Chain A
Amino acid sequence: MEKTIMTFHVDTSTGKKIGIAELSGRLDAISGSELQKSFRLWQQETRDIVFDCVKLDFIDSSGLGAVVSCLRKALEQSSDLRLAGLSKNVSMVFELTKAKKLFSIFPDTREAIKSFSTGNPA
């Protein structure tokens, strides 16, 4: 079974602190739970976060639930969670479940980071 790898760093290239969480592999019930735990820690470092999903191959309903839960936590703190680089597979799941309407989604991380400065959600 392919493992989910989550790495996190803070980007300051636009003068704002934006957390970049790179998700790769599969996002399911197990890794979704890990993501939620990690998200709490990431929120202590930075308000706004981008999930870089370029290397995310698979997401199921539990994984999607975890991402939505992260968004809810971000909104509760008056911050935001944006998504970038969704693959076709992942994007189709977001469309199918109407989750695409909930998120600001960008073609790549650079665009997502820039959107926080321009105040222009996708």
Chain B
Amino acid sequence: MKTLIVIREQEYEWLYHIFPDPHPLLIPICNKPFIEFLIDFSILAGSEAIRLVSDGSLRDVEHYCEQGSRWGVQISYGSMQESDDLDAVMEKNRRYCSNTRVLIIRGFVFIRYDKQNNYKTLFTSLPPGELRRCSHGSLTFTGTPGVEEQAPGPAPLSLVGLETIGVYYELCNEILRGGSLPYVLPGYSNETDCHIGRNVVMSKSCEIIKPVIIGNNVQILAGTVIGPGAIIGNNVIIDRESTVTESIVLDNTYIGEHLDLEKRIASGNILVEPESGAAITMEDPHLLTGMSTRRVSGALLHTLVHIIMAGLLIALEVIPFLLLLPILKLQGKWKKSRNTYYTSTSGNTVTLSTSAIERSGPLSLLAAALSLDRFPLLFRVFSGELALIASQPIAATPASRATLSRMSGYRAGVFSYAEAEDWPVEGSDTAIVERFYATHGNALLDIAMTWKALFNRVHEKQNV
């Protein structure tokens, strides 16, 4: 048997208006892309080949499903005209559909099925014709049955037309509460209503209430409450003291601190109220924002930019440093201290000689304005012990170890994002700023932030 899936762009384009990304056929339903449910069902029905036909672009879907080797079926793709009816589509796929039974799934519909049923045997004996229909699609068989025809029994399946965000939300909730008995859902589970993906970091003080599904690469920070009825996608951070109940957090989303997500869908910086369909784009990245996955090449570029910038600053400051340092030392205005700091969240430490300049007299003011006190630290950027700009280094003490564990994305820097933003370098607000940039920083932004930090330090000294 083969399956022909026919979905028109106009049936799913409403989703583009709410979530521009991903492709609507890849929209996750309980962390599993929609198209995978259709593939699973086709396989349960005994299909060896699946063809997906649409009048819209299927590039992303093709990129995701490829040729179907992951599922052990042959997946192919076809196009159609917007004006083509089902007969025209069948005619265009005549070779694919000839000499075999074909299950035609038409429309942007979700098929409620139960993996424990033997659909293969059931469908073999069904006569050609329409099996199920809803306002947004249908299931139809063509071709002669493999065994003697039987009157169609009540096949244990039904269709749900995905027509609004409210239907999508209800469907996700229904599957979540029904658990993994009828469907194969991603993630580890030893209970039907609790699925947890790979690389999920949960704080000791967070609370997880079933039913819940958590995707891969998720950080759930201290004091958060996840569930009941929460679906957390892949690559998500739920920041401190936030609550996610009866809500869906789609992939690549950051939920800020102290937020309450109840009966909502969050995707990147888009927040949707499923009941009314109202969607707002949050402009405030401290509340809700999208996250981009930093690839290895991105991290390398990041490090390279920091090294180049550090080299540039060393070249600019070496002469003033060599000229002013002996004078300031003689005047007793150059004060050094040694301390051990955490370099990253891994708990690695580095011992640094940090300098402080007493701001009195024109030479010390000039040295401070040029940030010469940070000059010796710039060499640590080359060894990778410090970033050029990142978080304010945290002194390595037993008490600060607990703070470090809460500092998602912490990395010690020569300059800090708080300095660039002209925030006080101590306190919880600083932690928020630094955590934000740790998550959303990029090489270009870091260049700008470094210059901002340098400028603010000049400005700061002039005010003294």
Set of chain A residues within 8 Å of B273, measured between Cβ atoms: 88, 92
Complex contact A92–B271 (CB within 8 A): yes
Asked if A120 is at the interface of the complex by the 8 Å CB criterion, the answer is no
* Complex-state Cα separation, A61 to B271, whole angstroms: 15
| Chain B residues closer than 8 Å to A61, beta-carbon distance | 256, 284, 286-287
Asked whether, in the complex, the Cβ of B287 is within 8 Å of the Cβ of A96, the reply is yes
A61 to B286 alpha-carbon distance, docked (Å): 7
Question: Is B278 in contact with A97, judged by CB distance below 8 angstroms?
Answer: no
For residue B90, CB closer than 8 A to chain A, the reply is no
Which A30-55 residues have a C-beta within 8 angstroms of B? none
Q: Is the CB of B283 within 8 A of A98?
A: no
Query: Which of the candidate stretches B26-34, B107-115, B259-267 sits at the interface with the other chain?
Result: B259-267
Chain B minimum-CB-distance residue to A60: B284
Cross-chain contact A92 with B287 (CB below 8 angstroms): no
A98-B287 in contact given A88-B280, A89-B280, A92-B280 (Cβ < 8 Å): no
CB-contact partner of A97 in B262, B264, B276, B287, under 8 A: B287
Q: How far is the CB of B345 from chain A (nearest CB, A)?
A: 25
Does any Cβ of A come within 8 Å of B390's Cβ? no
**Are the C-beta atoms of A95 and B283 separated by less than 8 Å?**
no
CB distance from A114 to the nearest CB of B (A): 27
Query: Once the chains bind, are A96 and B278 in contact (CB under 8 Å)?
Result: no
Residues from chain A with a CB closer than 8 A to the CB of B280 are 88-89, 92-93
Distance between Cα atoms of A60 and B256 in the complex (Å):
13
Residues of chain A within 8 A (CB-CB) of B287 are 60-61, 93, 96-97
Inter-subunit contact A96/B283 (CB<8 Å): no
B288 engages A96 (CB within 8 Å): yes
Distance, CA A58 to CA B278, complexed state (A): 15
B256, B278, B283, B286: the one within 8 Å of A92 (CB): B278
- Bound complex: CA of A58 vs CA of B284, how far in Å? 10
| Residues of B close to A89: CB separation below 8 A | 280
- Inside 8 A of B262's CB, which chain A residues have their CB? 95
- Is B92 an interface position by the 8 A CB rule? no
Check if A97 sits within 8 Å of B271, measured CB to CB.
no
Q: Is the interface of B mostly helix, strand, loop or mixed?
A: loop
The total of chain A residues at the interface (CB under 8 A) is 12
In A51-109, which residues have CB < 8 Å from any B CB?
Answer: 58, 60-62, 88-89, 92-93, 95-98
Chain A nearest CB, measured from B230 CB (Å): 15
Distance in Å: Cβ of A113 to nearest Cβ of chain B? 27
A14-41 vs B, Cβ < 8 Å mask (1 yes, 0 no): 0000000000000000000000000000
Interface string of B281-298 (1 = CB under 8 A from A): 011101110000000000
In the complex the two chains form, what is the Cα distance from A60 to B289 in whole Å? 13
Which residue of chain A lies nearest to B278 when distances are taken between CB atoms in the complex? A88
Closest residue on chain A to residue B271 by CB atoms = A92
Question: Is B335 in contact with chain A by the CB < 8 A criterion?
Answer: no
Expressed in whole angstroms, the minimum distance between the Cβ of A60 and any Cβ of chain B is 4
On chain B, the residues within 8 Å of A92 by CB distance are 264, 271, 273, 278, 280
Whether B278 lies near A98 (C-beta < 8 A) is: no
Q: Are A96 and B284 in contact (CB under 8 A)?
A: no
Q: Assuming the A-B contacts A92-B271, A92-B273, A92-B278, are A97 and B283 also in contact, with contact meaning beta carbons closer than 8 angstroms in the complex?
A: no
Asked if B258 is at the interface (CB within 8 A of a chain A CB), the reply is yes
Shortest A8–chain B CB gap in Å is 26
Chain B residue at smallest Cβ distance from A58: B283
In the complex, A80→B262 CA distance in Å? 28
Partner of A95, one of B256, B260, B276, B288: B260
B278 cross-chain contacts in A, Cβ below 8 A: 88, 92
Instruction: Determine the distance from Cα of A97 to Cα of B262 in the docked complex, in whole angstroms.
Output: 11
Query: Knowing that A88-B273, A92-B264, A93-B280 are A-B contacts, what are 7 other residue pairs whose CB atoms are under 8 Å apart, sorted by A's residue number?
Result: A60-B284, A60-B287, A92-B278, A93-B282, A96-B261, A97-B259, A97-B287
Residues of B within 8 A of A (CB): 256, 258-262, 264, 271, 273, 276, 278, 280, 282-284, 286-288
Chosen A-B contacts, 23 in total, with CB atoms closer than 8 Å, are A58-B283, A60-B283, A60-B284, A60-B287, A61-B256, A61-B284, A61-B287, A88-B276, A88-B280, A89-B280, A92-B264, A92-B278, A92-B280, A93-B280, A95-B260, A95-B262, A96-B259, A96-B261, A96-B271, A96-B287, A97-B258, A98-B258, A98-B259
Could you tell me which A residues sit within 8 Å of B by CB distance?
A: 58, 60-62, 88-89, 92-93, 95-98
Closest 7 CB pairs of A and B: A60-B284, A98-B260, A89-B280, A88-B278, A61-B284, A61-B286, A96-B259
